[in-house]
Amino acid sequence: MPLIRIRDVGEDASDTFYRGEYPSEFVVNAGDLLVGMDGDFKSAIWNGPASLLNQRVCRIQLNTELFDFKFLFFSLPGYLKAIHKVTSAVTVKHLSSRSISEIPLPLPPLPEQRRIVAKLEELFSRLDAGVAAVRRSQALLKRYRQSVLHAAVTGELTRAWREAHPAPTETGEALLTRIRAERRAQWEAAQVTKRGG
């Protein structure tokens, strides 16, 4: 049977296994809400196969007559982060089951919880769409950059300008000879000025 360790909270599988008997209350099923009780106090919904709870992993079981599951899922991380912030530790921070049970979770009426969840899901959906649009734009930008680079390398980028401004007929060698002659003349003029005459 897979054994869920703290590092597996937020993952979809575990590479650690247990062989032997176990009480049924230690079985975690897909859709269960887990909290890692050491380190970052991460919470996540388990999406892996039926597995077993391990030490320092907490499964949250709630009264569905009071709490909407997704409302709890959205509410819990902020409280865990606040507890993490005020928890002192020499090495690894530890969270107790008592600390979890004493979290002062908000308890609006169920219809209100469901309205909040629906609004959050709508906003997350918009956010996901925005992220997807940014990724599409980044891909288009990358293709655009590649096409501009290709046009620059092949000369296509400046073809119209070059046609409107034909290159001088002077060769590179002739240009170099002319520049040398101009510099020599400037130098000679400066020498004559220095000698005063």
Structural domain range at position 70: 3-105
pLDDT at 52: 95
DSSP symbol at 31:
T
Judge if 143 and 163 occupy the same domain: yes
Confidence at residue 121, expressed as pLDDT on a 0 to 100 scale: 92
Which of 105, 130, 159 terminates a domain? The answer is 105
CATH no. for residue 60? 3.90.220.20
> Which is nearest to 102 in space by CA: 83, 86, 88, 115?
83
> CB–CB of 50/29 below 8 Å?
yes
Same domain, 92 and 135: no
* Domain membership flag for residue 195: no
Of 105, 130, 158, the one marking the end of a domain is: 105
E strand segments, the chain: 3-4, 27-28, 33-36, 43-45, 51-53, 57-60
Q: In whole angstroms, what is the distance from residue 65 CA to residue 59 CA?
A: 18
- Does residue 13 fall inside a structural domain? yes
pLDDT digits (tens, 9 = 90+) for 166-181: 776 778 888 899 999 9
Q: Which one of 105, 135, 157 terminates a domain?
A: 105
Read off the tokens for 37.
Answer: 């009780």
Number of domains in the chain: 2
- The string over 115-131, giving b where at least 16 C-beta atoms fall within 10 Å of a residue's C-beta and e elsewhere, is ebbeeeeeeeeeeeeee
Report if pTM > 0.75. no
* Interval 117-142: pLDDT, tens: 999 999 999 999 999 999 999 999 99
Does 151 have pLDDT greater than 90?
Answer: no
Position 84 pLDDT exceeds 70: yes
Do 19 and 100 share a structural domain?
yes
